Amino acid sequence: MRMRPTLSWTPEEGLPPGSTDPEPVAEALGAGGVLVLSGAGISTESGIPDYRGEGGSLSRHTPMTYQDFTGSDRARRRYWARSHLGWRTFHRALPNAGHRAVAAFGRHGLLSGVITQNVDGLHQAAGSEDVVELHGGLDRVVCLSCGALSPRRELARRLEEANAGFAPVAAGVNPDGDADLTDEQVGDFRVAPCALCGGVLKPDVVFFGENVPPPRVEHCRALVREASSLLVLGSSLTVMSGLRFVRQAARAGTPVLIVNRDPTRGDRHAVTRVALPLGTALTAVADRLGVPVDGRTAA
């Protein structure tokens, strides 16, 4: 299924406002078998902005599409200049209370799985295991010619060597790790090819307009079928790649609970939307369940 570049939507009228009571979330987690679906909103407390919330990056930034990236040398130079600069900040982000709470719920056997729309790796850094990265991860790159995967840190080193002194001041860093730079700041940035075949390198993430790999989608659908409830954390559900799982759960009669400060495209399918910050809400839920949330991060 092609991921459509939907950038905005209009909230439905007549839906109840969000609640400030996380008790339904605590009850669902206490029963176990909860599948988590997380979005960019869970990482905002780690300093990574979301797309559509207050001050979201889409107000100033249009994400690169797969078609633009593959169709233009200029677009790839622009992307890699911005992404290389953004990576310096992005890869230093640390898990926040929301990520740590999800990891704690998993350690205590309350979750059936975690699907994340994020590419930042913060769930894993907090200690969550078997996380399905729906849109891939920025910590690796793939060659579009030979298919070889390699670590992002290796490409970062090569780009540093090829662009000595490249240090423009960005206006901000976006949820996809793309820093805000002007064309003048990008300048004649040099893009590194695949070290094995000389082909075009792309971050191992799903761009807008690109397909989420069908086996990954089916794996997520299977997780939804097996879950006792679906807990959406910090996602507006604007794009179909996440919304389809909410719709699937609702059709099957599986309760959908959402924690997101703003209305979402999935609200009409949910039994509740808790309109609280993720860290606050999930820490409160953990306290109610007697689940300790520590500051452990991955080595």
Helix axes 278-289, 97-107, angle to 10 degrees: 30
Check whether 40 is labelled as a binding-site residue: yes
CA distances (Å), 274 to each of 112, 264, 270, in order? Answer: 21, 11, 10
197 annotated ligand binder: yes
For residue 57, say whether it is annotated as part of any ligand binding site.
Answer: yes
Answer yes or no: is 241 a known binding residue.
no
Q: Residue 44 — φ and ψ, nearest 5°?
A: -65, -35
Residue 143 annotated as part of some ligand binding site: yes
CA–CA dist 121, 58 (Å, integer): 21
Would you say 50 is a known binding-site residue?
A: yes
Q: Tell me the pairing of strands 136-143 and 201-205.
A: antiparallel
- Residue 287 marked ligand-binding: no
Annotated ligand binding at 117? The verdict is: yes
Q: What is the rounded CA–CA span in Å between residue 201 and residue 145?
A: 8
Q: Tell me if 98 is assigned to a ligand binding site.
A: no
Residue 172 known to bind ligand: no
**Options 61, 99, 123, 135, the catalytic residue:** 135
**135 catalytically annotated:** yes
Q: What is the 3 state secondary structure string of 92-158? A: CCCCCHHHHHHHHHHHCCCEEEEEECCCCCHHHHHCCCCEEECCEEEEEEEECCCCCEEEHHHHHHH
User: How many of the other CB atoms lie within 10 Å of CB of 9?
Assistant: 15
Q: Is 59 known to sit in a ligand binding site? A: yes
235 labeled binding residue: yes
Q: What number of other Cβ atoms are within 10 A of residue 197's Cβ? A: 12
54 is in an annotated binding site: yes
120 annotated ligand binder: yes
Closest CA to 135 of 48, 206, 231: 206
| CA-angle at 87, arms to 106 and 170, nearest 5° | 125
Is 118 assigned a ligand-binding role in the annotation? Answer: yes
Euclidean distance between the first and the last CA atom of the chain, given in angstroms as a whole number: 36
What residues act catalytically?
Answer: 135
Binding site for Zn(2+), by residue number, is: 143, 146, 194, 197
Binding site, by residue number, is: 39-59, 117-120, 143, 146, 194, 197, 234-236, 278
Binding site for NAD(+), by residue number, is: 39-59, 117-120, 234-236, 278
